[in-house]
Amino acid sequence: MHYLYLAVVAAVAAGIIAGFAAPGFAKGLAPLGTGFVNLIKMMISPIIFCTITLGVGSVAKAAKVGKVGLIAIGYFVVMSTIALAIGLVVGNLLHPGSGLHLDPASAAKAHQQATGGEGSTDFLLGIIPESLLSAFTEGSVLQTLLVALLAGFALQKMGNAGKPILRGIEHLQKLVFRILSMIMWAAPVGAFGAIAAVVGNTGWAALRSLLVVMVGFYLTCLVFVFVVLGAVLWFGARVSVLRLLRYLGREFLLIVSTSSSESALPRLIAKMEHLGVSRSVAGITVPTGYSFNLDGTAIYLTMATLFVASAQGSPLSIGEQISLLVFMIIASKGAAGVSGAGIATLAGGLQSHRPDLVGGVGFILGIDRFMSEARAVTNFAGNAVATVLISSWTKEFDRTKATEVLAGREPFNETTLLDDSPAPEPAEDSRPTADALT
């Protein structure tokens, strides 16, 4: 897997060169990246089902699962609100888009492609699959999550009679992760195609014209991850965010090359369990966070909104910004798992507050692909931090194992993506005295 890591780096560099040297040829390479991401997405539903069913089914008391879920949802709401507020503050300081005087009529066609987001009622009803099996064929994370929770609770009620089924699902999980490990060897091809197509389509023109909002967004994401999340992780679990992010380095490279945090979801679950997070907490927190803990998307929504308004010479008032923040807290929860959902949510926010600005959504599409990388990385970092925090708060975190893993003395098994032996039970008192987590 070390060679695979280097191959992905080389593929990204080659894709950038190809995009500038032969833009016409590079544009035609987009299906390579799309195909690789689709292969990864193909594995998400079975992995989530196996992980959550095993996690919930192995818990003796259903109340334990409910406790983890409530803590996770509460934390996600608070952090998303903080991310939205930070995006508004930075946007007002930078005034992105001011002085551009863009004509929204030129973006009408792009806006038509960006709209079409669903309402909150449709979103909630969409969590319920048409049938038990359709949750796996529709590719909806929330539908799979619902079915897996129901299956896990059912296995709890079955008691000893459900143990053979749990063992069967454990074997199925090993098969699924083995398939995923095989798919990962196509990562260099997918990364090369995705990067080459973006550079070939966009070039330097869009980067120059939208440099302010891009740089501002990247810096805001960095501050949020290393300052906000870093402080929360340290004071909440006494774990260094730098060590945690270094442990997840390969996953970040995969996300940057595909601009999709979904591509690293299965590996995040596996790595959190290897780190010392209990199976039940990892199985509930990670998939839920992918739908409800979108810190990068929250920052993007507020900054993009301010950019669109300023670029058309109609900046939002403070009252409108606060109202928009409340709307985005709810709307951003449905902006996961679907390509272009962030753009659709942005259009929905403008439609509800300033319909005259909706046509300007098309302006952001030129650099959305570049911003989606930082968005995906921030979302991923937020979910990794949340998983460690929640496992620590619920005393489901093996600190001794985490110390060894973060110090590099217990490497992750890149072949199976699974631990061959179960982790020892965490101590009742999960607070460290002086360990190597820092």
Query: How confident is the chain (438 residues) per 10-residue block, as mean pLDDT?
Result: 70 83 83 79 78 70 66 85 86 68 48 47 73 75 80 84 86 84 82 77 56 82 92 90 90 76 80 88 82 80 80 74 71 48 63 67 61 83 92 88 86 65 45 45
Q: How far apart are alpha carbons 373 and 257 in whole angstroms?
A: 8
CA count, 13 A, side-chain hemisphere, 265: 32
pLDDT given at position 98: 61
Residue 29 in contact with residue 197, Cβ under 8 Å? yes
Instruction: Indicate the pTM of the whole model.
Output: 0.64
Count H helices and E strands in the chain, helices first.
22, 0
pLDDT tens-place string over residues 245-289: 999 988 888 887 766 677 787 888 889 988 988 888 888 888 878
Q: Catalogue all structural domains in the chain, each as residue range(s) with its CATH number.
A: 2-26+39-406 (1.10.3860.10)
Helix (H, G, I), strand (E, B) or coil at 54: helix
Express as a percent the part of the chain with pLDDT over 90: 8
Six-digit token pair at 302? Answer: 């507020």
> Could you say which DSSP state residue 422 is in?
P
Q: In this structure, which amino acid lies at residue 372?
A: S
> Whose CA is closest to 292, among 2, 75, 34, 60?
75
CA–CA separation, 272 vs 290, rounded Å?
Answer: 14
Could you give the CA distance from residue 364 to residue 29 in angstroms, rounded to a whole number? 23
Look at residues 294, 287, 398 and name the one whose alpha carbon lies nearest to residue 346.
Answer: 294
Per the CB < 8 A criterion, the answer to whether 101 and 313 are in contact is: yes
pLDDT at 328: 67
Nearest one of 36, 74, 46, 364 to 176, comparing CA atoms: 46
